[in-house]
Amino acid sequence: MKLRRLALCLCAVVLGSAFLSSPAVHAAVIGESHPAQGITAQRIAALPIKQRAAWLNYLKRSEKQQRADRAALAAERKQPGYGIPPPPEEHAHDNSMPLDKDSYWYGTVEARHIADVIVSFQTPAGGWGKNQNRSGSLRLRGQDYVPGNISNFLAKGDFDTPREPGWNYVGTLDNGATTTELRFLALVAQEMPGRDGERYRAGFMRGIRYLLSAQFPNGGWPQVWPLEGGYHDAITYNDDAVALAAELLTAVGNNDKGAYSFVRPAMRREAAIAARRAVECILATQVVANGRRTIWGQQHDALTLQPVAARNYEPAVPSTEESADLLIYLLSLPNPSPEIAAAVHAGMQFLKKAAISGYIWTGQGTPDGRKLQAQSGAGPLWARYYTADTIKPVFGDRDKSIHDDVNELSLERRNGYSWFNTEPQKALKLYETWSKAHPAQIPPEAWRDVDPNNLVLIDTHYGQVAVELAPEFAPLHVARLRALVRARFYDGQSFYRVIDGFVAQGGIGEGDEKKLAHWPPLKAEFDRPVGDDAAFTPLGSPDLFAPEVGHVNGFPAGRDAQEGRTWIVHCPGTFAFARDSAPDTAATEFYIVIGEAPRRLDRNLTAFGRVISGLQYVQKLKRGDPDVDNGVIKPGRGRDPILRVRLAADLPEKMRPHFQVLRTDSDSFADAKQKRMNPGTSFLVRLPPPVLDVCLMPVAVRRVK
C-alpha cells in the first residue's frame, strides 16, 4: 500500500483522501502522526518577548507544585509504622459520581461517603486523578493519589509512554476528572450548609483554585497539571477537558441558580474572568483552512495553537465530537459577541458538511470486528476525525499510520475506539433555535471586491446601472466594451429595442455606418474551456438547458464536463452583445436581460457580464411592441437615452463607487442556497421540491462606498 507522508501539524491540514463511497478501491495510508511537544523553557524562549514572562512563570509554578505534591506524599510515607499501601484500583468509565439525582439524595449517607472519598483523594495541588471508583474506600495515608493508568499496548516510541510510570495523571481533566468531582462536591455542599458540609465546601474551593492555577496564559488547559510533558501539555479539548472546565467556571462565576453562594465573591469573580479567557482561547484555536473557519482538533499546541496528535491513533486534525461539545458550550453563553457568533456559524457549517448518510458502524462482538457498512436510509453519523480542507474522514492506528478507510484499521483499534459519533446532531438541533435569535452575519472574507476595471456604469434618466464584466469568459468582448466606453461611443445613444419580459438593447442601432466601421465584428466567445481561473461552484440541482449549472465568481454559469466547456447563462440582469445571423458578427450593440430567462440564447450569443446594481432602472425603460419591427422603437417615438457610460477605473477615486459581491464558493453562499432550497415557512401548505433554478438563486451584492 503506497504511503504518502504528510505533515499533520498545520492549522490548515492537508490530507488528500478519498471519501467513504468506495473504500475497497481508494483505501490508503495517507500519512503518519508525529509526537506533540511539551512546554519547555527552550520552546518558551522562542516566543515573542512579550509572551515569555507569563509562560515562564506558568512553567515555574507547575514545577513548584509538582515538587510540593511529591513532597507531601513522601512525607506521609516517612512516618514510622506505615507500610506503603497498594495504589487505588483503576476503574475505567467510572459512573460512581452521579450528577442527576434528586437534590435530597446528595444529603444521604451514600452521597456523603462518595464526597468523603473524593476529598480524601484530592491531590495537594487541588485536583484529582482519573478512572477511580469514588464509591469505594477512602484513601489511606501514603497511598498513591491515582491509579497507574498505564496503557496495555505500549511499544517503543509510543506517544502514551509516561515520563515516569509511578507518577502519571496526578491531577487531570481527562475523562471528566476534577470537574466531575467538583460538581459532585457542590451538590453535596448545597444539601449540607452547616458545619458538616465545611470540608466539602473547602474541597470545592481548593479544586477551583486548582483550575485557576492550571489555566494557561492563553486561557486553555492542559490535560494534566502539574505538567507531565508530551501531548498532556497541549490545550486539551479531548474528552471535553476545556469545555467542562469552562462550563463549571462559567456557572461558578454567574453563581448559577444560587448553587455557588458558598464560594467567596472574589473567587467567583476570578472564575468568571477565567471562563472569559477560556472562550478567547477557543476562538483563537478554531482551525482555519482555505481562509475559512472550521472546527477544532482534540489537542492544540499550547504555544503555537496548532492542532497536534495525542495518542498514536489520535491525529492532528479536526475532531467532530469534541468540537460539537465546544459549540454547545458557546451556544449556552448569553449575549454572544460577533466573534462567538461567527465561530458558531462556521463550526456548524462544517458539521453539516461532514454528516455521513447511508452508512452504519456495526459488527461489535463479531469475529471480523466493527466495520463501516453501507445501508440505505441510515444516518446521519459523523466520523471522529476529518481533514480540515476537504472535510474527508481519517482514522489512526496504533502504529501511528493515518488511513482514509476505517475498515483498514487493525482489529484491536477498530473495536477499541469511538471512530463515529452523533454528538454533532445534538449541537445542530440546539443551533436551529439559537440561529433564529443570532442569524449568521456574512464574514468579511466571504466578500470579494469588484475590480474597477470590470465595472461599467451606465447613466440613465432613472438612475445609474452598474454592470460587472467577466473577462475570464470573453476577453475579446470585454476589451472591446472597455474601448467603446473610453471612446464615448455610447454617450448620447439610446435603448432602442426594449421588449417586455425579454431584453433591453442599447447602442447606435441603425445609426451612423461610418461610426460603426471603426469597430469590426468580433469572433464569438459563446463559451470557454473549464479552467482554474473560472472555479465552478455547482448549484446542486438539475437543469433543463445544461448538463450542470452553478456559479463562477458570482456569475450564473453552465458547464458541460464532457466537452470541458463553461459559459454564462441568460438570467435576468445578464449583459451580452447582440449579433446578426452569423455567429461572428457582434461588434458594438449590447443587451440586458430584463424578464424571464431566455435560456435558449445560452451559447448562442456572447454573455460576458451581469447587472449588479440598478436593474430596476432598466425595468423602467420605455417598451417597444414585439409585434412591430421586433420591438425596435422608432426614432422620435420616445426612446430612453443613454446619458453616458463610464468605466469605474477611469473615474477619480472620490467619485468611484465600490461594490462587493458575495463569493459563490463561500460557506455563506452555500448557506443561502440551503435556505432558498428549504424555506421552512409555515405559510406554505405544500413544500416545493428541494431544487433550485440557477436564475432564481440571487448572489448578494453590496455597495461599500
Q: Which residues are catalytic?
A: 175, 311
Cis peptide before 380 (omega within 30 of 0): yes
- Distance CA(22)–CA(18), nearest Å, equals 8
- Distance CA(464)–CA(446), nearest Å, equals 26
Collapsing DSSP states into helix, strand and coil, what is residue 295? Answer: coil
Alpha carbons within 13 angstroms on the beta-carbon side of residue 285 total 35
DSSP string, 107-131: GSHHHHHHHHHHHHT--TTS---SS
Dihedral sign from CA coordinates of 19, 24, 25, 27: positive
Q: Which three cell numbers stand for residue 566?
A: 463553461
Instruction: Say if residue 135 is exposed, middle or buried (CB neighbours under 10 Å; 0-12, 13-18, 19+).
Output: middle
Beta partners for residue 538, in sequence order: 550
Beta partners for residue 299, in sequence order: 236
Q: Can you give the three-state secondary structure of 401-450, one letter per residue?
A: EEECCHHHCCHHHHHCCCCEECHHHHHHHHHHHHHHHCCCCCCHHHEEEC
Beta partners for residue 702, in sequence order: 660
Beta-carbon contacts of 391 under 8 Å, excluding residues fewer than 6 positions away, are 294, 350, 353, 354
Collapsing DSSP states into helix, strand and coil, what is residue 482? Answer: helix
Alpha carbons within 13 angstroms on the beta-carbon side of residue 106 total 21
Instruction: Using alpha carbons, select from 674, 673, 680 the residue that is nearest to residue 694.
Output: 673
Q: Which three cell numbers stand for residue 595?
A: 424578464
Answer whether 251's CB lies under 8 Å from 259's CB: yes
Collapsing DSSP states into helix, strand and coil, what is residue 46? Answer: coil
- Distance CA(185)–CA(199), nearest Å, equals 9
- Distance CA(477)–CA(493), nearest Å, equals 19
- 236 φ/ψ angles, rounded to the nearest 5 degrees: -110, 105
- Distance CA(649)–CA(267), nearest Å, equals 60
Collapsing DSSP states into helix, strand and coil, what is residue 607? Answer: strand
Instruction: Using alpha carbons, select from 359, 457, 352 the residue that is nearest to residue 407.
Output: 359
Answer whether 310's CB lies under 8 Å from 322's CB: no
The CA distances from residue 463 to 62, 377, 385, 609, in Å, are 69, 53, 53, 19
> E-assigned strands of 209-352?
235-236, 288-289, 292-293, 299-300
Cell 515573542 -> residue: 48
Cell 473495536 -> residue: 415
Answer whether 315's CB lies under 8 Å from 33's CB: yes
Q: Which three cell numbers stand for residue 615?
A: 436593474
